[in-house]
Amino acid sequence: MAVIDTTQKQPLVDLRPGEVTNPDIAADIEKFESMLAGYLADEVEEDVFRVFRLTNGIYGQRQGGRNQMIRVRMPYGAITADQLDMLGFVAQHYSRQWGHITTRQNIQMHFVQLEKIPEVMKHLGSVGLSTREACGDTIRNVQGCHLAGACPYEVLDISAWAEAANDYFIRNPLGQRLPRKFKINFSGCETDCGQALFNDAGVVAVTRTLADGTIEAGFRVFVAGGLGANPHAALAIEEFTAKEDLLPTIEAILRVFEQTGNRNNKLRARMKWVVETLGWEETQKRILASRRLLPASSTWPGGIPEAVLRAGDAPAGRGTGPVSAIGQGIHVAFGAKTTFDRWEVANVVRGAANGTVSAYAWCRLGDITVEQFHGMASIVRDFDIEVRATNRQNFILRGLRDDQLADLHARLSVLDMAQPGAELVRDVLSCPGADTCGLAVTQSRGLASAIGEELEAAGLAEVAGVRINISGCTNSCGHHHTGDIGFFGVERRAHGQSAPGYQMLLGGHVGHEKAEFGEKALRLPAKAAPHAAVRVLQRFEDERKAGEPFPSWLSRVGGASEVAKGLADLGVFPTPAEAPDYYVDFGETGPYVKDVGVSECAT
């Protein structure tokens, strides 16, 4: 790997890539170099290279030209200190001085020049990182609950299971040219922090009682979940799937998708559309029939995977889930005396069975600067702990001791990563939006930042158990359907002009083996959306009963449409003369123009 001196604020580096020892990663890089050379010499067709590039995790940007987004695959969010340092190195020398955690626990960086991609791949490969199948019509990064092995309520530690699934399906011939992308997700209990309920194959650890009274741990596998413009909650393929049958079950789902997915219309090609076309009973029948015959395959994946035999899956919890506190956050104690006290209450999680101590590190808008990459790497080494990326775009530090927490808080404070309540209401989640995505119609990151600022100013940033999710268009890359408060970008017309706007949704929630999608409240000017979020939160705080969660409060007061009545004044556009800023999007300087291109996530 590149030599990095982390004692310097500006690392001293050897710009030559180090050795890539993983033969699969090395082969991927060699082929990419060859295909890129052919493309640049006009010997490889544009469409052929685009499909190849996406399969290797390289994604075109809104800005066009040679600007590329490079997405690094990180199964279940796991990452090492050396890998953090390398990501900081790549961000500094090839990107724009920062990287971004995605909602699928990847790390991605923008504005990497196409000709530099093989060089970046070699740097990443020297520490075991790969971009393989992080984009494209492939089996995407295998997600897993970031608290796996540290959750006080989990039934099984799903870490090794997610690793086994990743190892089996990456570069698997079955997944190289699918009708559309295919997403796999693991959760260790019914709280579903991993959000299995809106994936093509979602796996939740559960138990069953056998005839002799003993308890067997296994899984419930859900199929055909998805968000996008047409959200669909996943359905359970069967009541209980034994451990030995888990990988064959996922492979059977994949085979049915590969055989029946719509290859003529990518807008209707996901697993949820297979169910729409075939019906649930027929889809279920085909999956179970495919699994029954899988032992005839030369690569039958049955039995306990080697990764699980090696690492084990004993839970940190007592298998008592589901609960709401872990999946939806813990209320910050406003009466706490110090910033450390407030951080510990909100950000520290303790395992019930194995005594683990974990702590969240807050990443504003999911972004990590060069300094933060290197700072996190130093923390992991100095404290001898591990770290994972979360699906709400933060890091969680795991394997801590209680006597390390004060020092950790001090170190995170220096890095501006110690805000209490990471993963709670101040932790607004957003897709990249019109910053880099060709499909976005609004600057969703700008809205997320504005909401965060207004929450802080109103003293509401540490309200318990409320999540705000934002997407720059209807495609739900920011999971707006599942937020307690959700927004997706829309073009508005007012006083004869185009203006940035948002549709507000209320009441989304995932957990307890259910996915409740938010209901439409009202459409708003973009500049009024932060006020609307603050007003809803203030009403919730004023009216909630002790311990009452947001969905219960929303139902009790009449639902999204009723709450929207109290926001009606915010839906009115002033004239351009009265408020010209209403016709300029967040972070922009000129008049709003709806500029939608052909995004590669839809091709």
In a domain, 566, yes or no: yes
DSSP state letter for 403: G
Residues 69 and 203 in one domain: no
Give the residue from 311, 337, 352 where a domain finishes.
Answer: 311
Predicted confidence (pLDDT) at residue 65 exceeds the cutoff of 50: yes
Over range 479-487, report the average pLDDT: 96
Distances (CA, A) of 445 to 100, 433, 461, 471, 518: 12, 6, 17, 9, 20
Distance separating alpha carbons of residues 78 and 66, to the nearest angstrom: 30
User: How far is the C-alpha of 57 from the C-alpha of 460, rounded, in Å?
Assistant: 38
Sequence-separated (6 or more) residues with CB below 8 Å from residue 308: 160, 161, 164, 243
Q: Is residue 370 situated within a structural domain? A: yes
Is 423 part of any domain?
no
pLDDT of residue 160: 98
The pLDDT score that the predictor gives to residue 456 is: 94
Strand ranges in 362-413 using DSSP code E only, listed in sequence order? 367-369, 386-389, 395-400
Taking residues 78-103, what's their average pLDDT? 97
Strand order in the sheet with 519-525: 429-430, 468-471, 485-494, 497-506, 519-525
CA distance 412 to 406: 10
| Structure token pair of residue 411 | 């170190």
d(CA 530, CA 507) in angstroms, rounded, equals 17
Q: Nearest to residue 217, comparing CAs of 291, 321, 119?
A: 321
CATH of the domain at 536: 3.30.413.10
**Domain-embedded: residue 15:** no
pLDDT for 560: 98
One domain, residues 93 and 214: no
Inform me whether the pLDDT recorded for 545 exceeds 70. yes
- Concatenating the DSSP letter of every residue in 49-97 gives HHHHHHHTTEEE-TT-TTEEEEEEB-GGGEE-HHHHHHHHHHHHHHSSS
pLDDT at 14: 64
pLDDT of residue 424: 75
**pLDDT tens digit sequence for 141-173:** 999 999 999 998 899 999 999 999 999 999 999
Q: How many CA atoms lie within 13 A of 247 on its CB side?
A: 24
Distance CA 274, CA 183 (A): 15
Rg (C-alpha) for the chain, rounded Å, is: 23
Whether residue 549 has pLDDT greater than 60? yes
Instruction: Note the Cα 422 to chain centre separation in Å.
Output: 15
Residues 400 and 435 in one domain: no
In this structure, the answer to whether residues 470 and 597 fall within a common structural domain is yes
At a CB cut-off of 8 Å and minimum separation 6, what does 414 contact?
375
Element of type H or E holding 167:
helix 159-169
SS3 367: strand
What tokens does 461 get?
């940033």
Residues 282 and 396 in one domain: no
CA separation for the pair 593, 573 (Å, rounded): 17
pLDDT at 3: 47
Give the three-state DSSP class for 533.
Answer: helix
Beta bridge partners of 358: 349
The answer to the question of residue 141 being in a domain is no
Query: Is the same domain home to 370 and 286?
Result: no
- Return d(Cα 353, Cα 349) in angstroms, integer: 13
Confidence of residue 272 (pLDDT cuts 50, 70, 90): very high
Q: Which of 264, 286, 311 is the last residue of a domain?
A: 311
Mean pLDDT over each residue of the chain, to the nearest integer: 92
Q: Is the peptide bond before 322 cis (omega within 30 degrees of 0)?
A: yes
Looking at the predicted structure, is the pLDDT value of residue 514 above 90?
Answer: no
The verdict on 219 and 164 lying in the same domain is yes
Compute the distance between CA of residue 172 and CA of residue 59 in angstroms, rounded to an integer: 21
CA distance 72 to 87: 9
**DSSP category for residue 226:** B
Number of domains comprising the chain: 4
Examine the domain organization and report whether 457 and 582 are in the same domain.
yes
Mean local confidence (pLDDT), 388-410: 96
3-state secondary structure of 552: helix
pLDDT range class, residue 325, cuts 50, 70, 90: very low
> Residues 187-223: pLDDT tens digits?
999 999 889 899 999 999 999 999 999 999 999 999 9
Q: Do 304 and 331 fall within a single domain?
A: no
Are 413 and 557 spatial neighbours (Cβ–Cβ below 8 Å)?
Answer: no
Q: Which domain holds residue 81?
A: 23-125
| Buried-state track 502-538, b at ≥16 Cβ within 10 A, e below 16 | bbbbbbbbbbbbebbbbbebbebbbbbbbbbbbbbbe
- Ranges 12-16, 257-261, 585-589, most confident: 257-261
d(CA 236, CA 515): 12
Q: Is residue 12 part of a domain?
A: no
343 and 195 co-located in one domain:
no
Q: Which amino acid is at 240?
A: F
Total Cβ atoms within 10 A of residue 347: 28
Q: What is the CATH number of the domain that holds 84?
A: 3.90.480.20
Q: Is residue 421 part of a domain?
A: no
CATH number at residue 329: 3.30.70
Same domain, yes or no, for 100 and 163? Answer: no
| Cβ contacts of 410-415, under 8 Å, gap ≥ 24 | 411/375, 411/379, 412/361, 412/362, 412/379, 413/339, 414/375, 415/361, 415/371, 415/372, 415/375, 415/376
pLDDT digit string, tens, across residues 327-363: 444 444 445 579 999 999 989 999 877 788 999 999 9
Q: Are residues 301 and 436 in the same domain?
A: no
Identify the CA nearest to 99 among candidates 376, 352, 499, 404. Answer: 376
